[in-house]
Structure 1
Amino acid sequence: MPKIPLATLAWSPEHQAYLLSEQDQHCYLLTSSDEPFWFSWLDTHASFSFRGISDSLNLHREARTPNRYYWYAYRRQGQRVAKKYLGQTSNLSLARLEETAKVLGNKETSTLPNKADLLQGPKIRRTSQRDTRAIFRKQPTKIALKNKPPQRREPNVGLKRARLEHGWSQQEVADLLEVPYTYMVARWENGTVFPGPAYRKKLCQLFNKSEAELGLLRQVPLAIVPTTHTSLWPVSDPATPLQLLQTPRLIGREAILAQIVQHCQNGDGMRLALTGLPGVGKTTLAAALVNEKQIQQAFPAGVLWAELGPQPYIPALLSRWSTLLGINREGGSRKSSQQWREVLRDAIGMRRLLIILDDAWTLEDALACQIGGPCCVYLLTTRLREVASQFAILDSIHLSELDRIQSIEFLTQCAPVLRDVNQEILNKLVQASGGLPLALKLMGTHITVQTRHHQPRRLSTTLTRLQNASERLQLGLEPDARLPVGTPLTLQTMIQLSEARLTAAEKQALTALSVFPPKPHSFSEEAALFVTRSTQSTLDRLVDIGLVEVCEDTRYYLHQTIADYARTKQRPSKKQQAERHLIRYVMEYVEQHQEHTSALDQESHIIFTALEIAQQFHEPECYIQVILHLTRYLHSHVPYDVIFPLLQQAYAYARLSRNAIVQARLADHLGVAFREHGNYLEAEQILREGLTALQNHDLSEGLQLLSHLGSVFAQQDRFSEAASCFEETIATAERLGDARLSFYYADRGVLGLNRRDLRTAEANLLKAYHLAKGHTAHAYHFVMVLQNLGVLYTHKGELNHAHALFDKASLIIEAHKFADNRAIHNYRLGEIAFLQGAYTQANSFYGQALEQASALNLQRWLFWIRLKISLVAIKIGDFEAARDALQQAETHTAERTRTHSECQFLMAQGRLTLAQEHLQLARSRFLHALEQARHIEHSAFCSESLILLGIASLQDGDLSTAHSSLQEGLVLANTLDMPQLQGEALLAWGKYALQQQDYAQAQEQFEMVIHTIPHDFQECMARAHMGLALVARAKHQYEEARSEGKMALVLFEQMHHVQAKAIRDFLHSLPAHF
């Protein structure tokens, strides 16, 4: 039987794969899909051990005729050796090895240990050195060993001493370490083999000693190469493209460079792979690695660089390396690649070299360059993930593109003239590059060349030209070794290298994929197959070749630059065909998923792209169909400045189609969009057009239009017209049994809220609630009903009930991801927090609502949110923030055309000027607000403005106006079921009585606040206690004044209210003794 081999292929239950190791160094995991690599490995090795699932074998390659080798399997059975012919390398599949092991093992199953024996460990019989020598005498090797220079091996005295100190045999040490063969321990001790990192760690733990104490620090041999060689250490390979490092700093790659350095330092024999798109900077990063001081220290023997490319000539590369290593090249032209590898491996010996294999396209090319010893580390760069994963299964690093900030920094570093350019232009250039460093570098170099004479005109012209994809693809640098002689490196040539490996069908699929929005947007496998009319294998091939990236399990990216390239290769007829496929796919998709918000979100960019194409192709039916299925999604998830062009285009198509029902439906959606944006006149006009189109159709078709027209009247404070619309809608809907009756009751309930007719609002909203409850198809409507009920109970002072309703609505909002309702929800929670005096919390809610409403461009809600933010700022004394918020609210002119909104805006302005003690201006604004409120007959607004006018007049010394205003305001407040307004009126009347020195009346008003107003209204409570403190001081009841003042102070401080300072000053002013 031949000599026991050093390489082992063993089944790993933990990984459910085969673990291939050489000289105890674990290399990689293999499965049946890795057999091409396995066969290439067998071509470079003469023997290995196999430990399969069922049994074990030793395998050896023997020469039967010159240059023809055949494999044999050996298995020792007692004193006999069984041998089986397996044939050539292609026959040694993993399945065949398992089958052979099982066949040879079954010939003497009685000699195999049972499972219990295997678990006990020490009872396993291992091959001893004496047994091995006996086998060698009976079965001498048939392979003649090559003449190699003698190498001096020193025994490891430290390791042997540690074993003897414990009184252990080599077999016991092998058992304790779970080493597969006893002879491995013997080889470690006699110095013929050096333990791998894993076993070194185990030995240190076993003997509780350091590597130095055990003699496990590697020593470089004194004589590795023949004396005829000239040693040129350390190696500095001139092929390393250091010219790529022209920029002062490697932007955006610091973290990944440090990661690679750490990996390289971790262990000997490691194989790393760096993968990424063409032009992403893999070669530049590898070149930067060579310049790292840590790398130079870790690899004192130097660095070898291999520039492979699609068609490398390996013998020339190995010959060049031999020159760098000072090897005698006599007879070099007659040496094969295998012979060169052996010569180079002998020359390198135990030296630590970093070997960089740049731009590998096949695993075979990479393996052909493995010429280092066990101390060398390999770094492979490739655009093909398949090659990277096969070369370095556990240490493959993907290099992503630069982000926007990094891209701008990189671009301005390449072209400093761009530092003074408008940010919007920079963003367009970066977006066009897709963050690809090569694209940015080509653009930067081109801009620098074109602007070398500092002419603004040429800069402007250059920037305009770079917006063209064809121009960007043609930008070139110096020639590249991978390209034909004289061909400059461009984005186009870089991508062509990959495209050249595709079949005609795969090229057609790639060009078809360019209809999808490019990265960072993704597309599904289902969409890709529908549009390309290709197969999964074709898509897999595009991924394997590195032109399409995997986003998730079934989603993919197409980079901007590759998409640009694919479009330039697409014939007009094929382009239109792919675009029409995309339209059909989107039509089917939105119809199937119109109620699935997350699904529509995921494909939103594809949907909008298809709509653009449908408009270009003048396919109105497709356009209208998609829009009608998307309307709910559009209203709740898409900014209104995006919605309007889509709905207006669809409505224009509908008017031309003369389909009255389609026109009415689109008029309804467009009218609602105008209403939500605050464009009430446009909304009214469109809704009336929709109703006109339905004059000759069934009444039920126009009910929703009529109800929405009523809501527009309500928003315009045309309450009588609104009420008429709702009466007619509800009466007709009840008679016809309309399924949307709940919607119409809800609209009438909102009218009651607007007028602060809370009794009417409650009756209609509860009716809508009971009708809508349980209808999952109307989730959005049900949320609106819940939110409006919450508003109702907020006005009624039932804040806990209101909060519970908002929470219930929130669950549905999050389940369906209604983005617009998230903003409204936070706004409503802010209102409750404001009434409770939790101003910090209110500010937080309003801030979130502002961000969400801004994202969707909800103009009407932005007005109200900013108005509320100003009120919070007034309460905490931040008058500058209040002024800024009011100035921003003032810009929403469409909403301010509504009397209801203008009235509230005037009162907010008046509150700010009152807090700043600009009394005349405050009175003017409150008086103007009162006029507006009376014009629309709004009792609640009249009461509020009268109370505020009375307070301002009182502070201004106009007692007559103060008395009449406060008296009228209090009477109106008592007719309304609104505790907050009633509390304000009582507090103001108490303040008036206090100033008139009517202490009994003042005390009565303040105590009435405490006893009748819900204590959730914390500011009302604080001001009532403060009023009672002032009354007590006026009556010289200082102890009572101090007690009431302290209660007020606690509440004001909890709220961070501006009045906290005033009450502290009040307490300090009280006599200490009385």
Structure 2
Amino acid sequence: MRNTELPSQPRLRLAQARIVRNLSQQALADAIGTNYVNVSRWERGITKPSPYFRTQLCKFFEKSEVELDLVPASAATTPARANTTTSPDHTEKAVPSVPTQPSALYDPAIPLKPGIDLVGREQDLYQVKQQLCAPQQVAMTALNGLPGVGKTTLAITLAHDPQVRDHFQDGILWAGLGPQPNILGLLSRWGHLLGISSSQMEKLSSTEAWAKAIRNAIGTRKMLLVIDDAWQLEEALTFKVGGPNCAHLVTTRFPYIASHMSINGTILLQELTKEASFRLLEMLAPQVVTREIQKAETLVQAVGGLPLALTLIGNYLRKQAYSGQSRRISAALEKLNDAEVRLGIEEPHVPAESHPSLPIETSLSLQSVINVTDQLLTPATRTTLYALSIFPSKPKTFSEEAALVIAACTIDELDALSDAGLLECTGGDRYTLHQVIADYARVHLSDPHPMQRLIDYVASHVEAHKKDYEILEQDNHLIETALEAALVQDKQTELIQITSAFAPFLILRGFYRQAEYYLQKAHEAALQQQEPNGIAGTFLYLGEVSQKQGNLAQAENYFQQGLVLARQTQSQERICTLLNDLGWVNLKKGGFAQAEAYLQEGLALARQIQDQEQICSLLKILGSVAAGQGIYEQSENFLREGLTIAKRINDREQTCVLLINLGATVGGQGRHIEAKAYYEEGLELARQLGLREQICVLLINLGDIEAEENHYKQAEAYFREGLRLAEQIEHREWTSVLLMNLGMISQKSNDYEQAANYLQQSLSLAQTIGRPRIICMALYEFGQLNLVQRKLNNAKHNFEEMLEKVPSGDQESLALAYYGLSRTLAKLGNILDAKKFGEESYRTFKAMGYNKAKELENWLENIEKI
């Protein structure tokens, strides 16, 4: 007798009844007393439930055996009169059949909805739903992203979303492809689901025939077709079989597949933000995260927001923390500091819900998910991937030029890695490697040559671009990696070479701690090699770092030692630089005569060797020396000559500083409009070059001009921005000046308590770093504050102390001290001494051409009226 049941046909109604209740196969098995393997086999039609379990299933779902596909519809016993009714005269009449609307078809292959809500994907979910459910829906939407970024999870969530299901009223089909899909098997399953007859399916022998038959079966139905984890373009296209009312959603790790499948519907799924990553980890392992917040944040950063990594780590930590023992939690977190451990954390497959990219026997881990792609690469491309692991990982980038040299590869290999979704192009000729991909590649790297090529490449690269600050900024992290490698491998020559070329950039950008660290290491290497030029060079830059940090005595000591060595080796260029820096330090200390002596010697030598850059720098500081002594005309001459040279040789750093100094010189003469123009031009240039110290100085000077013009809010805005930056780069001198200026603004705003607080901080810091001029100016502002509050004895003490501390030759500070003392004595009624100090101040300001001379003249004319 012919068997009327097709054992190989899936029991779609049984699976659909389970899915409608949002049950897993395990949950259903638990409810009726069996296991998920049996439920899976029943749904797939491999085996048939026994009479006992058929009864249990019918009771549980409250449906008949026919409604659950447990027996063929033809086997059901239907009363002969089921479709008849009886008229009053007992004559049976047929009741016309009423066509029923077929229910929506939800593919049993759709994986269960994730156990926890999606975290950090709200915007992505909204965007995809908009594309799928819009009136003019995108026929093909592609989700692209790194392995483990959550493409499949987002697709599953969409397949269970009520709005999506309402929109695609006729159902959802799902095909999980992976690297080795059973194309005909998947098409056959879709055919069964869509009701294609067995006789018709027997005639279908090619993918083309199946695709046409499925499209015909779908017809005008409104369905969503999900093509998950596509590895080959041709395979993905095979499942593009929806009709005019259908939409397709394809997920793939390969950018070229995504871009081909969807012209304007491709969505690049990025990693989770730091906040979302932490939230996901906290949901998975709350006990651990609550107890070890800092370590959890470190883990989040280590895996770069990759959801699969966070999920595996979170599940691992939750299992380790079940006992609540701190010892086990700490040990688990310690293990996870090792990238190889993170890569190896695995979870067994659930047979009915296996990852489409992995064989059923392979456990799910970061290692296994990335390895699937790795094994499809050519040997040369694989070697390139491993070599690139020595580069700093995402979000840091590296250039194509560096990749080609250090990985010793071709453009084709880089393109192959990009096509495989492992290497990300950030635009132009720069790339980035995700942290987890880099960890995987680094674990597999055994060749020492890439690291040596990195050191050699960076040594020549930095030397060639030591004045190209934008390039050095981009490659900052790569250079630091090379320096660390040189330290580890004891490559002393390369360490000295790279550090000497890179230190000026670090100092210029305000990275003083970083510069000092590598300079100390390079200095030790130069001493071991007994290399005078290397020793002198590190003395020079260590001195510059000390000077920037306000350690003037230490800076002068470094410069003096460097100058001795430079004279011994007759390195004229370095002698010029060291004389320049010694002049600058002595200017800061208030030693105008000694500063000028160093600078004039340096200028004569620079002119002799025709070193335009050094001439420019020396003129720049000589201009400041002259201005500090009130010789404004000479200052302006020095600075204008320097600015002309700087612009001619296109030295933008020197141009910026010269604009600052020129602005200060003309501003001191009361030419505020001209000064402001210089400062604004300098600020624009400083921001372009990222010169953080110069930005600070320019904000100070612009704030001073606004304050002079009584624009206190704008002045305060400049000062606050400058203070944030000065504190960020740990520049104590400018921090002190900015605190002083904020004190002055607070005094102008009648907030005397806040003004005193700022001024005290400024004075203490200036005293710590030994800056006489700033000490004097802070005392001057303290005197001003006490004057306005009529604390006259305090004000007198401030100005007298200022007078004692004025450095020799600092005419401006001397005149201001006299002026403050004159006004205080006048208020105290000592008109005779007030006149004496006022006249001394006036003569000094007048000789300098300083803008306060007119103010002093008016003051002296009206002193009797005070």
Q: TM-score by structure 2 length? A: 0.81
Contact 2:816 2:841 in 1 (8 A): no
Give 1:408 shift.
Answer: 2.5
Give 1:764 shift.
Answer: 3.8
The correspondence for 1:355, drawn from 225, 229, 233, is 225
1:943 and 2:815 are equivalent in the alignment: yes
Aligned to 1:706: 579
Cα offsets for 1:789-832 (capped at 9, x unmatched): 21111111111222233344456546655443233222222222
Give 1:430 shift.
Answer: 2.2
The separation in 2 between residues aligned to 1:595 and 1:508, in whole angstroms, is 34
Aligned to 1:262: 130
Q: Please say which of residues 360-369 and 945-954 is displaced more in the overlay.
A: 945-954
Aligned to 1:719: 592
Shift of the 407–718 alpha-carbon distance from structure 1 to 2, 3 Å rule, reads same
Give 1:691 shift.
Answer: 1.7
Give 1:736 shift.
Answer: 6.0
Letter in 2 for 1:273: A
The correspondence for 2:342, drawn from 448, 467, 472, is 472
Shift of the 254–952 alpha-carbon distance from structure 1 to 2, 3 Å rule, reads farther
Q: Match of 1:242, SS?
A: coil
Give 1:540 shift.
Answer: 1.1
Gaps of 5+ in 1: 1-226, 996-1074
Give 1:841 shift.
Answer: 1.9
The correspondence for 1:542, drawn from 407, 414, 417, is 417
Shift of the 281–986 alpha-carbon distance from structure 1 to 2, 3 Å rule, reads farther
The separation in 2 between residues aligned to 1:651 and 1:959, in whole angstroms, is 61
The separation in 1 between residues aligned to 2:591 and 2:181, in whole angstroms, is 81
Letter in 2 for 1:749: G
Shift of the 943–597 alpha-carbon distance from structure 1 to 2, 3 Å rule, reads same
Give 1:380 shift.
Answer: 0.4
Letter in 2 for 1:489: L
The separation in 2 between residues aligned to 1:589 and 1:914, in whole angstroms, is 58
The separation in 2 between residues aligned to 1:699 and 1:538, in whole angstroms, is 46
Counterparts in 2 of 1:536-935, with a 5 A limit? 536-571=411-446, 574=447, 576-698=448-570, 700=572, 701-733=574-606, 739=612, 740-769=614-643, 772-776=645-649, 778-810=651-683, 812-813=685-686, 816-879=689-752, 881-883=754-756, 885-886=758-759, 889=762, 892=765, 896-915=769-788, 920-933=793-806
The separation in 2 between residues aligned to 1:584 and 1:767, in whole angstroms, is 40
Letter in 2 for 1:502: L
The separation in 2 between residues aligned to 1:985 and 1:589, in whole angstroms, is 57
The separation in 2 between residues aligned to 1:765 and 1:374, in whole angstroms, is 75
Letter in 1 for 2:156: A
The separation in 1 between residues aligned to 2:689 and 2:522, in whole angstroms, is 25
Letter in 2 for 1:654: A
Give 1:537 shift.
Answer: 1.2
Q: Match of 1:743, SS?
A: helix
Contact 1:639 1:855 in 2 (8 A): no
1:438 and 2:308 are equivalent in the alignment: yes
Shift of the 540–939 alpha-carbon distance from structure 1 to 2, 3 Å rule, reads closer
The separation in 2 between residues aligned to 1:594 and 1:416, in whole angstroms, is 49
The separation in 2 between residues aligned to 1:963 and 1:295, in whole angstroms, is 92
The separation in 1 between residues aligned to 2:336 and 2:785, in whole angstroms, is 52
Contact 1:231 1:326 in 2 (8 A): no
Counterparts in 2 of 1:353-502, with a 5 A limit? 353-417=223-287, 420=290, 424-479=294-349, 480-482=354-356, 483-502=358-377
Contact 1:943 1:970 in 2 (8 A): no
1:993 and 2:847 are equivalent in the alignment: no
Give 1:779 shift.
Answer: 3.4
Give 1:670 shift.
Answer: 2.4
Q: Match of 1:272, SS?
A: strand
The separation in 1 between residues aligned to 2:764 and 2:389, in whole angstroms, is 42
Give 1:683 shift.
Answer: 0.7
1:518 and 2:393 are equivalent in the alignment: yes
Contact 1:233 1:325 in 2 (8 A): no
Counterparts in 2 of 1:273-284, with a 5 A limit? 273-284=142-153
Give 1:786 shift.
Answer: 2.8
Give 1:965 shift.
Answer: 4.5
1:237 and 2:111 are equivalent in the alignment: no
The separation in 2 between residues aligned to 1:817 and 1:691, in whole angstroms, is 30
Q: Please say which of residues 315-324 and 664-673 is displaced more in the overlay.
A: 315-324
Q: Please say which of residues 649-658 and 976-985 is displaced more in the overlay.
A: 976-985
Shift of the 492–553 alpha-carbon distance from structure 1 to 2, 3 Å rule, reads same
Shift of the 332–731 alpha-carbon distance from structure 1 to 2, 3 Å rule, reads closer
Shift of the 299–929 alpha-carbon distance from structure 1 to 2, 3 Å rule, reads same
The separation in 2 between residues aligned to 1:459 and 1:893, in whole angstroms, is 48
Letter in 2 for 1:635: I
Bigger RCO (CA 8 Å, 6+ sep): 2
Cα offsets for 1:437-463 (capped at 9, x unmatched): 111222222222222333344333333
1:508 and 2:383 are equivalent in the alignment: yes
Aligned to 1:28: none
The separation in 1 between residues aligned to 2:362 and 2:795, in whole angstroms, is 77
Aligned to 2:82: none
Give 1:949 shift.
Answer: 4.4
Q: Please say which of residues 348-357 and 580-589 is displaced more in the overlay.
A: 580-589
The separation in 2 between residues aligned to 1:894 and 1:242, in whole angstroms, is 69
Shift of the 930–918 alpha-carbon distance from structure 1 to 2, 3 Å rule, reads same
Letter in 2 for 1:253: R
Give 1:877 shift.
Answer: 2.6
Counterparts in 2 of 1:953-968, with a 5 A limit? 958-960=828-830, 964-965=833-834, 967-968=836-837
Shift of the 992–287 alpha-carbon distance from structure 1 to 2, 3 Å rule, reads farther
The correspondence for 1:287, drawn from 148, 151, 156, is 156
Contact 1:677 1:860 in 2 (8 A): yes
The separation in 2 between residues aligned to 1:907 and 1:413, in whole angstroms, is 58
Counterparts in 2 of 1:6-85, with a 5 A limit? none
Shift of the 230–329 alpha-carbon distance from structure 1 to 2, 3 Å rule, reads farther
Shift of the 420–332 alpha-carbon distance from structure 1 to 2, 3 Å rule, reads same
Contact 1:678 1:894 in 2 (8 A): no
Q: Match of 1:516, SS?
A: coil
Contact 1:950 1:963 in 2 (8 A): no
Aligned to 1:207: none
Larger radius of gyration: 1
Shift of the 272–509 alpha-carbon distance from structure 1 to 2, 3 Å rule, reads same
Shift of the 295–815 alpha-carbon distance from structure 1 to 2, 3 Å rule, reads closer
Gaps of 5+ in 2: 1-96
Contact 1:516 1:606 in 2 (8 A): yes
Q: Match of 1:694, SS?
A: helix
Aligned to 1:344: 214
The separation in 1 between residues aligned to 2:374 and 2:100, in whole angstroms, is 44
Q: Match of 1:306, SS?
A: strand
Shift of the 645–304 alpha-carbon distance from structure 1 to 2, 3 Å rule, reads same
Shift of the 492–889 alpha-carbon distance from structure 1 to 2, 3 Å rule, reads farther
Q: Match of 2:500, SS?
A: helix
The separation in 2 between residues aligned to 1:610 and 1:429, in whole angstroms, is 25
RMSD (CA atoms): 3.1
Letter in 2 for 1:359: D
Give 1:638 shift.
Answer: 4.6
Matched residue count: 758
